[in-house]
Amino acid sequence: MIAPGASAAMNPRWRRAALVRHFLMFVLVAVQTAFTGIYMVQILPYHGQTALEAAVLVTFIGLFAWISIGFWTAFAGFFTLLFNLRRLAITRICEARGSDHAPLARTAILMPIYNEDPRRVFAGLRTTYLSLQKTGQLEHFQFFVLSDTTDAARSVQEELEWSEFCRSLGAFGRVHYRRRRTHIKRKSGNIGDFCRRWGATFTYMIVFDADSVMAGPTLVKMVQMMEVRPEAGIIQTPPVTANRVSLFARIQQFANRVYGPMFTAGVHFWQLGECYYWGHNAIIRIKPFIEHCGLSRLPGNGPLGGEILSHDFVEAALMRRAGWEVWVAYDLGGSYEETPPTLLDELKRDRRWCQGNLQHLRLLGTRGLSAAHRAMFVNGVMAYASAMIWLLFLILSTAEVAVQALTPVKYFSSKPSLFPIWPEWHPNWALALVVSTAGLLFLPKILSWALTVLKPPPTRCFGGFFRLTFSVLLETIVASLLAPIRMLFHAKFVLTTLIGRQVKWGAQVREDAETGWLTAIRYHGGATVIAIIWAGGVYWLNPAFFWWLAPIVSALVFSIPLSVFLSRVRLGRLARRAGLFTIPEEIEAPAEIAALNAELATTAAAVDPFIHAVVDPQANAIHLAMLRLKRSMPPEKAKRLVRIRTKALKFGPTVLTALDKSDLLQDVSSMQMLHLGVWQIADGQLSRQWGLA
């Protein structure tokens, strides 16, 4: 095992390249931003000499630098993929070291779950398991489903799914299930708990998300890469989003599939071995992870204190601090995940990520972190803070218009001056700036489109050349409409986080669920009203400026129908039939995705998990075998259990509260007695309540 900090010395080539590239990125962004900033100064009527204009200028520069980073990332990714520049790609480096023939080490595949749909979780796991089995390397892997599920009934479903999975595949002893009673530190705590108890027996762990699916050959390749690259601490795969059917999700999948590879290649180009870890679909060397990546609580109870929510970025930074490399294998396939089905679901996820990323502000001063990872923290903060800056820019611009419209022109400043200040308006220059900024925003899309046309897979996998082109155009329009809506929400998230509103740990919606009109009105109604007032006010102040603002306010005005229609599964299917937003995974589904869909196509009868665990003889036996017999119980609790199980047998399950069910489910005697008691009920009506004829 190499000593911390030794990897850079062992492989100075990528380190030197990384330093040059970081410097180059800094120069490119700085020069481009400085040039545009100076141009902006010329455009402002008072050339930035008023306080308001200075504020407009500062926000503009912040936003432009952010856009510029994205542009150069895409630009680097474009050339990397176009000319297949794999010299410093981790996959190529490992292949050169003979990774294809490397023996495998013991690897744990971890699937942390939290109140997820157990059927979907185990369907995904089954797909991965069978794919791995086909490689003939299954013996090197152990699977761990690490449940943090708080809903007792759902946890029973998890137990049953696990046991059936193991029984049907002969996987007892290879596929494990553990439910944590205390959910300390959320997902990072869940993985940390595994590391403390079982981590020492494995060399690597591959972390999944609840909706992750990975191909067996990819898993084998990841382990082989780690084996021949002892300096690597984490290797992240780029997951392809697939398998969703709502219009919103299909558009997101398409965007991820067309633009994603270029951006990932770009991120790899700039960061090399100091790259991202996205929390799932990645392999981690366990020993250094245990030694260096334990996360403490951030001091204080404020919004930026407490448990670290976006743990993955921090773990990557800590791994690198200890001298281990963190790579993104941008050219490794066979890694899949799913995207949120609706805009509101995406925003709910963003709410959580926003607080997590803002917490990284407190870690910027952490000793020993690489500059690349500090920049990564800033990047993560800007992912949400940029929305706030954009909103501020729009507010300040509107204020500038109001000042221009409502106050007389000032030719002399408060300072002594011989010459008057002539306010200058250059609409053509402003137009040129807008066009060039839009160019930076949209050029990556054009480059991605070009790559998709020029490089494999063939365009027929995207529905053909014309459908692909039309889909890119439509996606660009939808993304432009969604940008102001996301901006307003993200700005709100930043603000609410900073004023101390904590995020609750909610389960992520993973199945296709549509947004209802009332829900959309509840979430987007405020934005619609604000946009109408804003648009009306600006039109009254300066009709010419209104047209500049129109793309933003019109998107906000129509945010309710937009959110509803985009969530529609029917429209998603319609687009699919029309060949729009098609991705290769839909045309020629990889074996893993096809297997997952076949697995999920069988409909399971909807049964109350509590009733199922009580009534079904096998489910009851399995659940009992998963419970620990309590040595002692407080007399009050024992009395309560007697009371509620008597109530259940006398009046049926409908009289029980969720807490009653949860308590009964966790008590061995109660579950035994209820099982025996329910099957002895002779009364027809009561029997039917328990699902018996």
Chain residues binding other proteins by CB under 8 A are: 142, 144, 159, 162-163, 166-174, 176-178, 192, 195-201, 290, 292-296, 298-299, 314, 318, 362-363, 365-367, 615-618, 620-622, 624-626, 628-629, 631, 668-669, 672-673, 675-676, 679-682, 692-693
Q: Which is nearer to other proteins, 299 or 427 (CB)?
A: 299
CB of 615 to other proteins, least distance (A): 8
- Distance, CA of 230 to CA of 324 (rounded, Å): 9
Q: Which amino acid is at 377?
A: F
CB of 395 to other proteins, least distance (A): 29
CB of 313 to other proteins, least distance (A): 12
CB of 222 to other proteins, least distance (A): 22
Q: Which is nearer to other proteins, 363 or 381 (CB)?
A: 363
Asked whether 187 and 195 are in contact (CB, 8 A), the reply is no
CB of 549 to other proteins, least distance (A): 38
DSSP state, 327?
E
CB of 183 to other proteins, least distance (A): 17
Q: Which is nearer to other proteins, 142 or 310 (CB)?
A: 142
Q: Which is nearer to other proteins, 72 or 162 (CB)?
A: 162
Q: Which is nearer to other proteins, 315 or 337 (CB)?
A: 315
b/e map of 162-181 (b: 16 or more CB within 10 Å)? bbebbeeeebeeebbbebbe
Identify the bridge partners of residue 177 per DSSP, sorted by sequence position: 145
Alpha helices by DSSP H, 512-583: 517-541, 543-557, 559-566, 569-577
Q: Which is nearer to other proteins, 60 or 141 (CB)?
A: 141
Q: Which two tokens stand for residue 533?
A: 């007032």
Q: Which is nearer to other proteins, 361 or 507 (CB)?
A: 361
Q: Which helix (H) or strand (E) holds 228?
A: helix 216-228
Cis peptide before 457 (omega within 30 of 0): yes
- Distance, CA of 423 to CA of 501 (rounded, Å): 44
Q: Which amino acid is at 545?
A: F
- Distance, CA of 118 to CA of 128 (rounded, Å): 15
3-state secondary structure 409-426: CCCCCCCCCCCCCCCCCC
CB of 308 to other proteins, least distance (A): 8
Q: Which amino acid is at 169?
A: L
Q: Which residues lie below 8 Å from residue 633, measured CB to CB, with a gap of 6+?
A: 641
CB of 137 to other proteins, least distance (A): 15
Q: Taken in order 329, 332, 335, 340, is the CA torsion positive or negative? A: positive
Q: Which is nearer to other proteins, 248 or 377 (CB)?
A: 377
Asked whether 143 and 111 are in contact (CB, 8 A), the reply is yes
Q: Which is nearer to other proteins, 224 or 310 (CB)?
A: 310
CB of 550 to other proteins, least distance (A): 43
Asked whether 143 and 109 are in contact (CB, 8 A), the reply is yes
| Residue 610 burial (C-beta neighbours within 10 Å; 0-12, 13-18, 19+) | buried
